């Protein structure tokens, strides 16, 4: 069997929390706890380009733990108990054995921080119901969709649509698109191209970024970056915004302030469409940010938020369906009654055509919230949130 590295200390903590929960007042006092799995693939990564915000080692799982605690507090009043089983794989081949072990113990609902290919393998396991918090791939919401795969984090199309709506409102209509070499970068750029078409923007220059950013930290590294950025942006046709696609956070920040023409940067860096940002404090978000900081000792990242939201999604379905049976909870997620609050001023629910959670998208700068999409004026028959991402008429999903 592959070596699994569970988050040992916290596994104990979860067990302790369960034991300490005072008796509830509700009907289901004797019911067994709803056990929720948390499965993450964390491949050790090279140092990021910037040391300002080093990626936390416990990113994601901290959000799940806070969500568990919120569920447990609510469960005291409904007589429901929740438990979190955490598994961390450090290599792709450890993932499926870990999942099978959890399923073997009777777990059904698994929050998954996995890349798309592994997520599809996992979804093929009989009995598994997966909540995707790590893979923004549009294919998973379209041709590769699965009935037992729910998407808590927004798709790339939702993110780029959110940005495109804002640019359209600002009338910043001509774009210079710079895409990195990574597969995610290519998909992000593709989503941006589609979003531009959808909202009447024009990409006047579409150019791959190939420069290695490694020199940044050496002495006088800023000079070589500046020279590279100038070369890259020289001679571009007139454009309003430089959109960067750099999901690994390697070089996107190298272009801002260094372009030949004075133009803002947006996309994966600069003005960023995201499901969560530490700068967000509206609609009660301050409370969640504080609770998270008190627990984790750091700011809540988008991945932490997706994990928290996945746990709350399950908790809300359990409370409203009066059940801790994993099958009943999964059924409730699909029902039209399901809704959950996510500190973004709108109720969130799953699209019945592709299992994607509909949600507002934040447009965040490094230090302030710039806007929230959908932008006012983008109308929709049923929910304005469905102006972001693949709408019912466009979906290629045939499984839901």
Partner 1 sequence: MPRILTLLALLALPLAGARAETIMVSNEKDNSITVLDGATLKPVRTVKVGERPRGIVLSQDGRFLYVCAGDSDRVDVVDTTSWKVVRHLPSGSDPERAALHPDGRRLYVANEDDNLVTVVDVERGVVLQEIPVGVEPEGMGLSPDGRYVVNTSETTNMAHVIDTGSGKIIANILVGARPRYALWQPDGKRFWVSSEIGGTLSLISAEDWKVVAQVGFSIPGVPREAIQPVGMAFSRDAGKLFVALGPANRVAVVDVATREVQRMLLVGQRVWNLALSADGTRLYTTNGVSNDLSVLDIEAMRVTRSVPVGQSPWGVVVKP
CA distance 358 to 356: 6
Which residue number, 142 or 321, has a Cβ lying nearer to partner 1?
321
CA distance 368 to 342: 19
Nearest approach in angstroms of CB 77 to partner 1 is 4
CA distance 380 to 135: 26
Q: Which stretch binds partner 1 (CB under 8 A): 85-93, 107-115, 163-171, 342-350?
A: 342-350
Nearest approach in angstroms of CB 348 to partner 1 is 9
List the beta bridge partners of residue 178.
207, 244
Contact 266, 294 (CB under 8 A): no
Which residue number, 320 or 334, has a Cβ lying nearer to partner 1?
320
CA distance 373 to 363: 7
Which residue number, 71 or 268, has a Cβ lying nearer to partner 1?
71
Nearest approach in angstroms of CB 277 to partner 1 is 19
Residue with tokens 């469409």: 273
Count residues binding partner 1 (CB under 8 A).
Answer: 29
Q: Which residue among 73, 105, 210, 218 contacts partner 1 (CB under 8 A)?
A: 73
Which residue number, 33 or 79, has a Cβ lying nearer to partner 1?
79
Query: What x-and-dash track marks residues 13-32 binding partner 1 by CB under 8 A?
Result: ---------x--xx------
Q: Which residue among 12, 29, 54, 77 contacts partner 1 (CB under 8 A)?
A: 77
CA distance 318 to 336: 15
Region 370-389 residues binding partner 1, contact defined as CB under 8 A? 376, 383-385
SS3 assignment for 31-88: CCCEEEEEEEECCCCCCCCCCCCCCCCCCCHHHHHHHHHHHHHHHHHHCCCEEEEEEE
- Rounded to 10 degrees, the C-alpha dihedral 292/275/258/176 comes to 170
Which residue number, 62 or 233, has a Cβ lying nearer to partner 1?
62
Strand segments (E) across 246-367:
265-267, 272-274, 340-341, 347-350, 357-358, 361-364
Query: What x-and-dash track marks residues 311-340 binding partner 1 by CB under 8 A?
Result: -x---x--xx------------------xx
Residues 6+ away with beta carbon under 8 Å from 237: 174, 204, 205
The CA-CA-CA angle for residues 125, 131, 164, to 5°, reads 130
Spatial CA neighbour of 94 closest among 102, 106, 82: 102
Q: Which residue among 28, 103, 205, 341 contacts partner 1 (CB under 8 A)?
A: 341
Q: Which stretch binds partner 1 (CB under 8 A): 76-84, 97-105, 122-130, 206-214?
A: 76-84
Query: What x-and-dash track marks residues 258-297 binding partner 1 by CB under 8 A?
Result: --------------------------x--x--xx--x---
Q: Can residue 5 be called a binding residue for partner 1 (CB under 8 A)?
A: no
Query: What x-and-dash track marks residues 103-142 binding partner 1 by CB under 8 A?
Result: ----------------------------------------
- Chain mean position to CA 304: 8
Q: Residue 299, SS3?
A: coil
Nearest approach in angstroms of CB 21 to partner 1 is 11
Q: Which residues bind partner 1 (CB under 8 A)?
A: 22, 25-26, 70, 73-74, 76-78, 284, 287, 290-291, 294, 312, 316, 319-320, 339-341, 345-347, 360, 376, 383-385
């Amino acid at each position: 069997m592959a070596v699994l590295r569970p988050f040992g200390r916290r596994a104990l903590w979860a067990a302790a929390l369960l034991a300490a929960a005072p008796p509830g007042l509700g009907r289901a006092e004797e019911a067994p706890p709803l056990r929720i799995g948390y499965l993450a693939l964390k491949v050790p990564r090279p140092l990021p380009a910037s040391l300002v915000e080093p990626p936390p080692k416990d990113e994601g799982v901290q959000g799940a733990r806070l969500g568990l605690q919120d569920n447990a507090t609510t469960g005291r009043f409904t007589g429901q108990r929740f438990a979190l089983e955490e598994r961390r794989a450090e290599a792709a081949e450890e993932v499926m054995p870990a999942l099978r072990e959890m399923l073997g113990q009777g777990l059904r609902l698994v929050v998954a921080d996995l890349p798309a290919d592994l997520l599809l393998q996992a979804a093929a396991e009989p009995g598994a119901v997966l909540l995707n918090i790590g893979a923004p791939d549009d294919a998973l919401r379209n041709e590769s969709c699965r009935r037992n795969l729910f998407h808590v984090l927004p798709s790339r199309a939702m993110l780029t649509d959110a940005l495109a709506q804002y640019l359209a409102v600002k009338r910043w209509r001509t774009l210079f698109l710079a895409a990195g070499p990574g597969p995610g970068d290519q998909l992000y750029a593709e989503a941006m191209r589609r979003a531009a078409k959808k909202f009447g923007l024009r990409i006047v220059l579409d150019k791959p970024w190939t420069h290695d950013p490694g020199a940044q930290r050496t002495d006088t590294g800023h000079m070589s970056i500046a020279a590279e950025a100038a070369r890259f942006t020289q001679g571009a046709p007139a454009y309003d915004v430089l959109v960067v696609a750099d999901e690994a956070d390697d070089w996107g920040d190298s272009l801002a302030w260094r372009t030949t023409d004075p133009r803002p940067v947006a996309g994966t860096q600069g003005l960023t469409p995201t499901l969560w940002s530490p700068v967000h404090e509206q609609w009660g978000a301050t409370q969640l940010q504080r609770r998270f900081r008190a627990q984790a000792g750091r700011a809540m990242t988008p991945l932490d938020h997706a994990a928290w939201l996945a746990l709350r999604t399950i908790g809300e379905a359990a409370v409203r369906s009066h059940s801790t049976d994993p099958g009943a909870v999964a059924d409730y997620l699909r029902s039209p009654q399901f809704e959950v609050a996510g500190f973004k001023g709108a109720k969130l629910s799953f699209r019945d055509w592709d299992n994607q959670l509909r949600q507002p998208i934040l447009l965040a700068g490094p230090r302030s919230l710039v806007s929230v999409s959908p932008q006012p004026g983008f109308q929709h028959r049923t929910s304005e949130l469905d102006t972001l991402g693949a709408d019912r008429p466009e979906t290629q999903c045939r499984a839901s």
